[in-house]
Amino acid sequence: MRRDAKEQRDFRPRLIAVLRECANGRWGLFRQNNYGELARYYLRTEADDLKQTAEEINSLRSEFGQPNPLSIKFLEYCSMRGQNVKGEPKLAQQFLAEIGQRRTEPGSGCRFAEF
């Protein structure tokens, strides 16, 4: 299997799992805050991996003029900053709702009507 196809296939379930963890109160997915001493409790490694994968997917797909809405949306959420931006758990809940997932359904299948 081609690497880019595997990345795209694996990206969705990985993102959903980390969004659920973030929606349940674990910070670091969208990198809104400085890490400092609390870094070990944040989703830093997972967030870095997902962001890199999303960027790679977008780069590969843009070569063929076929955007990937899920990776684009994830990167948009990662870029949100400011005093009026919701906290990460609320952003994760909102993102899950946008893609048709409920945060309390661990192990449920991915349903992406538009993604």
Q: Which residue has the higher pLDDT, 28 or 112?
A: 28
Q: DSSP letters along the chain, please?
A: --HHHHHHHHHHHHHHHHHHHHHTT---SS--S--GGGGGGS-HHHHHHHHHHHHHHHHHHHHTT---HHHHHHHHHHH--STTSPPHHHHHHHHHHHTT--TT-TTPPP--S--
Task: Please give the pLDDT value at position 39.
Answer: 60
Q: Is the pLDDT of residue 102 over 80?
A: no
Q: What is the average per-residue pLDDT within 72-90?
A: 91
Q: Is the pLDDT of residue 112 over 80?
A: no
